[in-house]
Structure 1
Amino acid sequence: MSHLGLIRGLKDIEEIEKVPWTDRIKEKNTVELIENGARTNPEATAISFLESGDSFESPMRIAFKDLMGRIRQTANMLYDLGIGPKDVVSYVLPNLPQTHYVLWGAEAAGIANPINPLLEPAAIRDICVSVQTRVLVCLGETEGNDIWEKVNAIRKEIPTLKFVVQVMGSTDKAENIIGFDEMLESYPSDQYIFTRPIKPEDIASIYHTGGTTGTPKLAMRTHCNEVIMAYDLRIMAGFNTGSTLLCGLPLFHCNGTIVTGLAPFAAGGQVVMLSPMGYRDPSIIKNFFKIVEKFQAESFSAVPTILSSLLELPIGDADISSLKYVICGAAPLSQELFRRIESRTGMKILEGYGLTEGAVASAFNPKDGERKVGSVGIRMPYQSVKIAILDENGNYIREGKCGEIGAVTIKGPNVFNGYLEESHNQGVWMPDGSFSTGDLGRIDEDGYLWLTGRKKELIIRGGHNIDPAAIEEPLFQMPNVRQVAAVGRPDPYAGEVPVAYVEMADGVDMDENQIMQWARENIGERAAVPKEVIIIPSMPLTPVGKIFKPALRWDATRRVYEKELKQLDGIAEILRIDVVEDNSHGIKVTISVEPAADHGMDTIKQRINELLSKYTVFYEIEKAS
């Protein structure tokens, strides 16, 4: 893996591509990749693990030779438990060194399936059933953690499951439960007890992505996908032997596992694991800049919400001069937040773009060239990023012109071959084999990609497309505003109108009228001025830390329907209005009513239908039980 020079723009990418990737990248799988990184300096620290942010002075250190030893032992154990190349090992774990042993050991023996520990038991079960899990690795019964409770509740509902392996747990042979830590020691660390030639096209991992309702959306990635991605990340983010990265994103998500896992390991770099909870641990954020100084960290990966938290954290006397880059993705970064972070810390923000289906990243702002604030950068080596113009049914019409907004498509050796469930593969592949990401964007004359939202995030007011960023950027510049999210609210005349949800800094006394006045004065597009501002104590977030806009759309819909149904004139009491994601209708509203005396449900339904007739959001009416 060579060519880790300057990346100033597309010309440097094209120069790299003069050598085919098959000639440049010799490793055929992730196992070879980590082994080669470990050989760079076997005694060097691969992982520094912090129990919490308060214990950063005394980390657990794991050398590369020990990391590889543990991965081999884990692979040997899994092989002994019956795992072969096509068998799936699922894991439900926080961020622990053992999580890396399990992930890469599973990819060596079979197929790894990381699962979000925050999911409800039924969702965990559904994923395991879909991938046909044979071994499920989870955290044992530990204080302050409910992972074992969840797994224990559903383990007998997974027909293919042969063994449950407990990290920090004990063995119960009668129940086919294995204690990971005690069992591991019985396997050799210097060699594999099985022979498996892992081909580039072999499935390495299956990650769940998208919503968690209905059939799980499971992306199958090959060893080639992940090896290529590690190479691209090293080039674009400047990971080198001896580099130190901080890992605070979860290891069930490919940002955590690849950006702050496989890529630095392949380079012989150190990963500092910021506690089992990562950035969700308040003590990590509190001590963040001290941790940077302690480990002389060069970079870290984060989402905008994390950067917002760090902006309010005093640097004090911490020396953070080692920081070169922060890799930011998952959501478009506010220009104002970009400016504030860079001016305060002196590091460069490398805003990028990618998704699980592309092994994590497809575009990056060049580390040595122009970083266009608000864009997500140029395509990465050996990848194609294009704009497709689609018709209203999602059918391909043509490639987008320079600056034209359309569907973002990706193609390359990093892009997966499809979802496990065939129904999810319908309508996502373009005629040239590109994958349609579901995001909307444009590419400028210099090859920089600008995201304009997802199809579902664009606010369409009377046929006029409003980019949420046109609302969010000006509001974020208002003093004491911590987070902003603009979504569409159902409207009887325009279809939908924009509303803004705002989270204020702690202790700030400000009302919606003040924010609305700022919006009128600072939002350049009249149609984009929100119809309403709603102050909330905290934004709903995904487990990765991205603002979960569907929850805000649901809340906005609920508020509209509640207001309309106040006109029921005493014929019924509305007990509850639930708004949820729905596979058939996108959003579904369930209205639970209690009829007043002498009024039947037919009369009530007729009146509700009259009140809601101009709205397009699907609803059902039920009598309260």
Structure 2
Amino acid sequence: MATFNEFPIRTLDELRQFEAAMTLEQRLPERSVLDVFIGSVARQPERTAVTMIMTGAPDEQPRRVNYAQLLGMVRRSANMFHSLGGPRPGVAYMLPSLIETHATLWGAETAGYAVPINFLLQIEHIAALLEASDSRILVALGPHPVLDIWQKALALRERLPGLTLIRVAPPGTPAVERVIDFHTALAAQPEDHLVFGEPGKDDDVAAYFHTGGTTGTPKLVAHTHRGQLTAAFGGAAMGNYRSDDVFTGTFPLFHVAGTIACGLGVFLAGMELLVMSPGGLRTPAMVQGFWRLVAQYKATLVGGVPTSMGAVLEVPLDGADISAVRAGVTGAALLPPAVGNRFRQVTGCNLYEVYGMTEASGLIAYDPFAGASQAGSVGWALPYTRVEVRRFGTDGQLGEVCKRGEVGVVSVSGPHVSPGYRNPSHDAGIFDNGVLNTGDLGYTDEQGRLYMAGRSKDLIIRSGHNIDPVMIENAMAEHAAVALAAAVGMPDGYAGELPVCFLTLRPGALVSDAELHAHAQQHIGERPAWPKHFYIVDAIPVTSVGKIFKPELRCHAAARLVSTVLSEEHQLPNALVEVSAGGTRGLIVNVTLPATAASAMPTIKQALASYLFEARIAIAS
């Protein structure tokens, strides 16, 4: 069984001592994800593995399964998938966070490979993922009053002949022709052994996770058993996970944060996972009741993406006893310092940052929970892995290693790095002989700690000056009226891009444009980074896991610019402007002029030609 907590890791020296004391193989004898559950059962079969909260009501009786029961469910589901799909089947699922989702995920990886699907994607994208992954089985949530998962599942079955559909629905739900009931099929399988021999292990592909956002056809990243185990082990070691910990589960189970950092790593340590509703912190009741539930279930590790943590920190404790909490954890996006400071004020504990990526089996670096948190740092690379910050080469490839404090591109190597995408043509520029080019910007300090500086593709480039949007966002988040800040580049005919900042305000807060500009000039050291405009909005778009979705904001910024140009310079306030990502220059701007303005088309084409977007102009019919 895995050995990782004989002493806590607090410093880089202690991390190196940890690595030198034993090899990874000695510390991590598990060879498959199934071994993780077998090991936890051997240690403490009656320990609660998962507590499932549905509504968060004070008198709710949550559903609980212990490790022995969870292992039985995983074996049953693996046997079911083998009986339906034969050897090494591809099993996709569209499910919210449920106990059944864990049974599906780990059972699929045991029998073949799992394909977790973001059920918020459009049908066309999901169908493309199913075809690209060669998934013959789809597990989906049955009819739901809000989610349209089941409608999508039925439509996908019609599009993809031969797709076996399994429905997760409450007992007594009327049967549907050519649909297998999850619970009935599970009950028909043995729970004490596998019917097909050995499970997947070592370098076998355990899963394909899609990445690439919510538009276009996402890429499929291969995860091996060894890769997932290494990442989960590293997270457990750096997090100083203990078997008596209770970890709040708020990340979705189609994302690596929910499956590896807050899933497999939790189970490897024999901890209790507290699943805070099927929708996590996207469920308003979970946000409003967060601290009461943390107190009620004696959670010791609490976490979520920075936007979610910012939301729960606006909720008063109201006397909730959260003294059991020993640390907070956040990841999937950069943490604004104001949120970390607020967390310490509310809980008395540190909010530690985790850095991960789908292409590295979900985890890359941890700020160790046993150490003193360093604001802005994601800590050090996981045990037995390496992270280097490297310069851009003149050929577009990664160059030499950067000096301390010098911003460069983060590269990763180690057994947790994916072998590549399912379609090898996507590997170019990202995977190179076991080294992963993350595309993330970062730097290290004198202690070797890693600090993130945003995505290279999110850089705002003003007249050749690279501006890190995180610097703007962190400064504006310090303003007392600001709840969330997101900076992007707005097209500019002279500078290429100018920084602008979208803001949401705290409840009841008011702030003037002049105050915001004054705050920016006082707290942002680089004059070129002072935002040209501030846009106060009701909500900033986020992805399904709570990351700020900057492509949409860049589109909004461009649309505002073009609308202003047409209105103020060409007296066309009624022209229709629509902006989308794509095209040869990153943005496509579609302008529809009223018929009365047809003669102005050449002038407008010329005016928009100086901007870094692809302009398409038409006349309304």
TM-score with structure 1 setting the length? 0.94
In 2 relative to 1, CA 199–47 (structure 1 residues): closer, same or farther, beyond 3 Å? closer
Report deviation, 1:584. 4.6
Report deviation, 1:283. 1.0
* Alpha-carbon distance between aligned partners in 2 of 1:489 and 1:540, rounded to the nearest angstrom: 17
Report deviation, 1:385. 0.5
* Alpha-carbon distance between aligned partners in 2 of 1:280 and 1:292, rounded to the nearest angstrom: 17
* Alpha-carbon distance between aligned partners in 1 of 2:59 and 2:474, rounded to the nearest angstrom: 36
Give SS of 1:377's match: strand
Matched residue, 2:543: 542
In 2 relative to 1, CA 94–482 (structure 1 residues): closer, same or farther, beyond 3 Å? same
Report deviation, 1:371. 2.2
Matched residue, 2:349: 347
Give yes or no for the alignment of 1:153 onto 2:149.
no
1:601-620 to structure 2, matched below 5 A, reads 604-620=600-616
- CA RMSD, Structure 1 to Structure 2 (Å): 2.0
Matched residue, 1:285: 287
Letter of the structure 1 residue corresponding to residue 182 of structure 2: F
Matched residue, 1:21: 24
CA deviations 1:17-67 (Å, max 9, x no partner) are 222212221110101112211221111211110111225642111111111
Q: Which moved more, 1:577-586 or 1:125-134?
A: 577-586
Report deviation, 1:576. 2.6
Give SS of 2:612's match: coil
In 2 relative to 1, CA 369–569 (structure 1 residues): closer, same or farther, beyond 3 Å? closer
* Alpha-carbon distance between aligned partners in 2 of 1:53 and 1:174, rounded to the nearest angstrom: 31
* Alpha-carbon distance between aligned partners in 1 of 2:343 and 2:573, rounded to the nearest angstrom: 50
* Alpha-carbon distance between aligned partners in 2 of 1:454 and 1:248, rounded to the nearest angstrom: 24
* Alpha-carbon distance between aligned partners in 2 of 1:471 and 1:573, rounded to the nearest angstrom: 31
Matched residue, 2:594: 594
Task: Judge conservation of contact 1:29–1:224 (CA < 8 Å) in 2.
Answer: yes
Letter of the structure 1 residue corresponding to residue 74 of structure 2: I
* Alpha-carbon distance between aligned partners in 1 of 2:62 and 2:509, rounded to the nearest angstrom: 37
Task: Judge conservation of contact 1:471–1:486 (CA < 8 Å) in 2.
Answer: yes
CA deviations 1:408-464 (Å, max 9, x no partner) are 11111111011112232111134x531100111112221111111111211111111
Give yes or no for the alignment of 1:78 onto 2:78.
no
In 2 relative to 1, CA 310–569 (structure 1 residues): closer, same or farther, beyond 3 Å? closer
In 2 relative to 1, CA 512–72 (structure 1 residues): closer, same or farther, beyond 3 Å? same
Matched residue, 2:490: 489
1:436-451 to structure 2, matched below 5 A, reads 436-451=437-452
In 2 relative to 1, CA 341–172 (structure 1 residues): closer, same or farther, beyond 3 Å? closer
* Alpha-carbon distance between aligned partners in 2 of 1:184 and 1:210, rounded to the nearest angstrom: 33
CA deviations 1:169-217 (Å, max 9, x no partner) are 7899995311111221111112222113533000001111122333321
Matched residue, 1:558: 559
In 2 relative to 1, CA 298–146 (structure 1 residues): closer, same or farther, beyond 3 Å? same
2:145 aligned residue (139, 143, 146): 143
Task: Judge conservation of contact 1:112–1:206 (CA < 8 Å) in 2.
Answer: yes
Matched residue, 2:333: 331
* Alpha-carbon distance between aligned partners in 2 of 1:167 and 1:393, rounded to the nearest angstrom: 51
Give yes or no for the alignment of 1:45 onto 2:48.
yes
Give yes or no for the alignment of 1:208 onto 2:204.
no
Task: Judge conservation of contact 1:365–1:377 (CA < 8 Å) in 2.
Answer: yes
* Alpha-carbon distance between aligned partners in 2 of 1:154 and 1:316, rounded to the nearest angstrom: 47
1:224-263 to structure 2, matched below 5 A, reads 224-263=226-265
* Alpha-carbon distance between aligned partners in 2 of 1:580 and 1:84, rounded to the nearest angstrom: 43
Matched residue, 1:2: 3
Give SS of 2:85's match: coil
* Alpha-carbon distance between aligned partners in 1 of 2:128 and 2:103, rounded to the nearest angstrom: 24
Task: Judge conservation of contact 2:303–2:309 (CA < 8 Å) in 1.
Answer: no
Q: Which moved more, 1:301-310 or 1:173-182?
A: 173-182
1:271 aligned residue (270, 273, 277): 273
* Alpha-carbon distance between aligned partners in 2 of 1:548 and 1:393, rounded to the nearest angstrom: 30
Give yes or no for the alignment of 1:468 onto 2:469.
yes
Give SS of 2:345's match: helix
Matched residue, 2:366: 364
Give SS of 2:344's match: helix
Give SS of 2:206's match: strand
In 2 relative to 1, CA 367–449 (structure 1 residues): closer, same or farther, beyond 3 Å? same
Task: Judge conservation of contact 1:75–1:106 (CA < 8 Å) in 2.
Answer: yes
* Alpha-carbon distance between aligned partners in 2 of 1:149 and 1:382, rounded to the nearest angstrom: 45
Report deviation, 1:535. 0.3
Give SS of 1:272's match: strand
Task: Judge conservation of contact 1:53–1:286 (CA < 8 Å) in 2.
Answer: no
CA deviations 1:78-128 (Å, max 9, x no partner) are 11102422x210000011110001001101111001111211222211211
* Alpha-carbon distance between aligned partners in 2 of 1:330 and 1:475, rounded to the nearest angstrom: 20
* Alpha-carbon distance between aligned partners in 1 of 2:609 and 2:619, rounded to the nearest angstrom: 20
* Alpha-carbon distance between aligned partners in 2 of 1:55 and 1:142, rounded to the nearest angstrom: 24
Task: Judge conservation of contact 1:403–1:443 (CA < 8 Å) in 2.
Answer: yes
Task: Judge conservation of contact 2:240–2:370 (CA < 8 Å) in 1.
Answer: no
Give SS of 1:54's match: coil
Matched residue, 1:518: 519
Give yes or no for the alignment of 1:219 onto 2:221.
yes
Letter of the structure 2 residue corresponding to residue 284 of structure 1: M
Letter of the structure 1 residue corresponding to residue 557 of structure 2: A
CA deviations 1:547-576 (Å, max 9, x no partner) are 112211111111111122236747x78643
Task: Judge conservation of contact 2:386–2:414 (CA < 8 Å) in 1.
Answer: yes
1:30 aligned residue (29, 33, 58): 33
* Alpha-carbon distance between aligned partners in 2 of 1:83 and 1:513, rounded to the nearest angstrom: 66
Task: Judge conservation of contact 1:50–1:56 (CA < 8 Å) in 2.
Answer: no
* Alpha-carbon distance between aligned partners in 1 of 2:265 and 2:405, rounded to the nearest angstrom: 32
In 2 relative to 1, CA 317–13 (structure 1 residues): closer, same or farther, beyond 3 Å? same
CA deviations 1:365-395 (Å, max 9, x no partner) are 1223342201211111011101121236522
Matched residue, 1:178: 180
Matched residue, 1:316: 318
* Alpha-carbon distance between aligned partners in 2 of 1:75 and 1:316, rounded to the nearest angstrom: 45
Report deviation, 1:504. 0.3
Letter of the structure 1 residue corresponding to residue 576 of structure 2: R
1:421 aligned residue (410, 420, 423): 423
Task: Judge conservation of contact 2:235–2:366 (CA < 8 Å) in 1.
Answer: no
Give yes or no for the alignment of 1:196 onto 2:198.
yes
Task: Judge conservation of contact 1:137–1:165 (CA < 8 Å) in 2.
Answer: yes
Q: Which moved more, 1:527-536 or 1:19-28?
A: 19-28
Give SS of 1:53's match: coil
CA deviations 1:211-254 (Å, max 9, x no partner) are 23333211110000111111111111121222211101111111
Give yes or no for the alignment of 1:65 onto 2:72.
no
1:111-126 to structure 2, matched below 5 A, reads 111-126=113-128
Task: Judge conservation of contact 1:362–1:380 (CA < 8 Å) in 2.
Answer: yes
Give yes or no for the alignment of 1:163 onto 2:159.
no
* Alpha-carbon distance between aligned partners in 1 of 2:176 and 2:517, rounded to the nearest angstrom: 64
Letter of the structure 2 residue corresponding to residue 132 of structure 1: D
Give SS of 1:116's match: coil
Gaps of 5+ in 1: none
Task: Judge conservation of contact 1:499–1:530 (CA < 8 Å) in 2.
Answer: yes
Aligned-pair identity in percent equals 36
Report deviation, 1:624. 3.8
* Alpha-carbon distance between aligned partners in 2 of 1:274 and 1:399, rounded to the nearest angstrom: 42
* Alpha-carbon distance between aligned partners in 2 of 1:318 and 1:573, rounded to the nearest angstrom: 53
Give SS of 2:594's match: strand
Matched residue, 2:480: 479
* Alpha-carbon distance between aligned partners in 2 of 1:198 and 1:582, rounded to the nearest angstrom: 39
Task: Judge conservation of contact 1:53–1:285 (CA < 8 Å) in 2.
Answer: no
Superposed structure 1 runs of 4+ greater than 6 Å apart = 169-174
In 2 relative to 1, CA 423–215 (structure 1 residues): closer, same or farther, beyond 3 Å? farther
TM-score with structure 2 setting the length? 0.95
Letter of the structure 1 residue corresponding to residue 502 of structure 2: Y
Gaps of 5+ in 2: none
Task: Judge conservation of contact 1:248–1:274 (CA < 8 Å) in 2.
Answer: yes
